[in-house]
Amino acid sequence: MSVAPSVTPKTGDDGVVLSLAGAWIVAAGRALETSAASLTSAARGARNAIIDLTGIERMDTAGAWVIDRARAELAEAGVQAAYQGARPEHALLLQEAGYRPLEPPKQVRTSPLLTLVAAVGETVYTAGLDLIDIIDYLGEIVVMWSRLAAQPLRWRWTSVAHHLEIYSLRSVPIIALINFLVGAIVTQQGIFQLARFGASPYAVNLVGVLGLRELGVLMTSIMIAGRTGSAITAEIGSMNMREEIDALRVMALDPLEVLIMPRLVALAIALPILTFVADMATLAGGLIVSWVYAGMAPEVFISRLQSAIATETFLVGLIKAPFMAVMIGLIASTEGMEVRGSAESLGRCVTASVVKSIFMVIVMDGVFAMFFTAVDY
Amino acid sequence: MGRREVVIRVRGLKVGFGDRLVMDGLDLDLYRGEVLGFVGASGAGKSVLTRTILGLLHKRAGTIEVFGYDIDKLHPQEKLLIGERWGVLFQEGALFSSLTVRQNIQTPMREHLNLSKSMLDGLAAQKLALVGLPQDAADKYPSELSGGMTKRVSLARALALDPEIVFLDEPTSGLDPISAGDFDDLIGTLQKTLGLTVFMVTHDLDSLYAICDRVAVLGHGKVSAVGPIDELLLSEDPWIKSYFHGKRGVVRAGTAAKRPAERAGEGRAQFDRVQGGGR
Q: Of the candidates B204, B70, B279, which has an alpha carbon nearest to the alpha carbon of residue A98?
A: B279
- Which pLDDT does position B256 carry in this prediction? 47
Q: Using 50, 70 and 90 to split pLDDT, how confident is the model at B278?
A: very low
Overall average pLDDT of the B194-217 stretch: 86
Task: Tell me the pLDDT tens digit for each residue of B109-120.
Answer: 888 888 888 888
Query: Which residue, among B117, B194, B196, would best test binding to A if mutated, counting the most A CBs under 10 Å from its CB?
Result: B194
Amino acid at A153: L
Strand order in the sheet with B86-89: B86-89, B165-169, B197-201, B35-40, B214-219, B222-227
Query: Nearest residue of A to residue B97 by CA position?
Result: A342
Helical H segments across chain B, by residue range: 46-53, 76-85, 101-112, 117-130, 147-158, 177-194, 205-211, 229-233, 238-245, 250-256, 259-277
According to CATH, the superfamily of the domain at A6-96 is: STAS domain (3.30.750.24)
CA distances from A305 to A177, A187, A283, A284 (A): 21, 12, 9, 12
**Is the pLDDT at B271 greater than 60, yes or no?**
no
Q: Using pLDDT thresholds of 50, 70 and 90, give the confidence band for residue B273.
A: very low
Q: DSSP letters along A54-76, please?
A: EEEEEE-HHHHHHHHHHHHHHHH
**pTM for the model:** 0.75
The pLDDT tens digits of the residues spanning B5-64 come to 888 898 888 888 888 888 888 888 899 888 898 888 887 888 888 888 888 888 888 888
Complex prediction ipTM: 0.74
Higher pLDDT, A2 or A201: A201
From B190, which residue of chain A is nearest by alpha-carbon distance?
A93
- Counting residues of chain B whose pLDDT is more than 90, the rounded percentage is 3
Q: What is the mean pLDDT of residues B152-172?
A: 89
Mean pLDDT of A181-192: 94
- Segment B205-214 mean pLDDT: 85
Q: What is the tens place of the pLDDT at every residue in A281-304? A: 999 999 999 999 888 999 999 999
pLDDT tens digit string along A161-174? 999 999 889 999 99
State which amino acid sits at residue B10.
Answer: V
CA distance A103 to chain B (A): 9
Nearest chain B Cα distance for residue A119, angstroms: 21
Binned at pLDDT 50, 70 and 90, residue B1 comes out as very low
Look at residue B252 in the predicted model and tell me its pLDDT: 53
* Higher pLDDT pick, B105 / B277: B105
Task: Give percent above pLDDT 70 in chain B.
Answer: 87
Best CA proximity match to B7, nearest among B71, B62, B61: B71
**Is the Cα torsion angle A355, A360, A363, A364 positive or negative in sign?**
negative
The pLDDT tens digits for A223-267 are: 999 999 999 999 999 999 888 998 888 888 888 888 998 999 999
**Mean per-residue pLDDT for B152-165?**
89
Residue A47 has pLDDT above 90, yes or no: no
Q: What are the residue ranges spanned by the domains of chain A? A: 6-96, 140-374
Q: Does A364 touch chain B (CB under 8 A)?
A: no
Chain B residues lying within 8 Å of A102, measured CB to CB: 121-122, 125, 135
**CB burial string B177-210: b at 16+ within 10 A, e below:** eebbebbbbbbbbbbbbbebbbbbbbbbbebbbb
Q: Quickly state the pLDDT bin for A104 (edges 50, 70, 90).
A: low
